[in-house]
Each structure stands twice: as C-alpha cells, then as structure tokens.
Amino acid sequence: MKTSQIAALAATVFIVSACTSTPKVNVRQPGDRNLSCAEIQSEFDSLDNVQNEAEDNQGVNTANVAAVLFFWPAAVGNYMDADRAMDLVEERRAVLMDLYEAKSCDA
C-alpha cells in the first residue's frame, strides 16, 4: 500500500512539474513616461529575454515532452501560455517604441 501511494505521489509531482510558466509583462506600467532613453533600451533588452523564454517554452523541452507523454492538455496549455506572453511582449514593445520616438531617443 505504501509503495503505491509513494508511486502515485511521485507521478503527480512529475506531471505537475511538466507545466511551464512564462513571465508575463504589463503592457503599460506606472512611470513609463518618466523613463529615460537608456531605461527604455534596457526595457527592450528585458523584453528580448522574456521573448526568448517564451519561445523556449513553446518548443520541444523536457516539460513539454513529459506533458505530451503523461497529460497532453498540459502541453497545449504550455504552448498557449507562451503564445500569450509573446503577444504581451509585442504590445509592450509597441508602447515603448512610441515613448522612444516621442522622446527623440534615436536623435
């Protein structure tokens, strides 16, 4: 009895760990208008990191393979979560680009 409970617990932990979570960005953030050109550029760099993580979470990785093998809806959820994160990154990038241009940062 104990062995089967331990095995069930281990399987549950494995399945739950198969889900990935990509950080989400807020499209508009308090203080955006006060950002300097250098800070806006730093925000662009941070967005690149989030975008890369989201792309990694959409591709073939350990979590997604485990999700497909043991609980395929988790793989779909991982993909959709990463897709939403990438959409938010693009929206945030557009907001920052508007600020960048309004402040004539490339001048």
Domain boundaries of the chain, sorted by first residue: 2-102
Asked if residue 39 has pLDDT above 90, the reply is yes
pLDDT at 18: 47
Confidence of residue 67 (pLDDT cuts 50, 70, 90): low
Beta strands in the chain (DSSP E): none
3-12, 42-51, 80-89: least confidently modelled range: 3-12
Nearest by Cα to 18 from 61, 49, 64: 64
**No. of helices (H) and no. of strands (E), the chain:** 4, 0
Asked if residue 102 has pLDDT above 90, the reply is yes
pLDDT at 25: 87
Q: What average pLDDT score do residues 42-54 get?
A: 91
The amino acid occupying position 79 is: Y
Collapsing DSSP to helix, strand or coil, 79 comes out as helix
pLDDT top residue among 20 and 16: 20
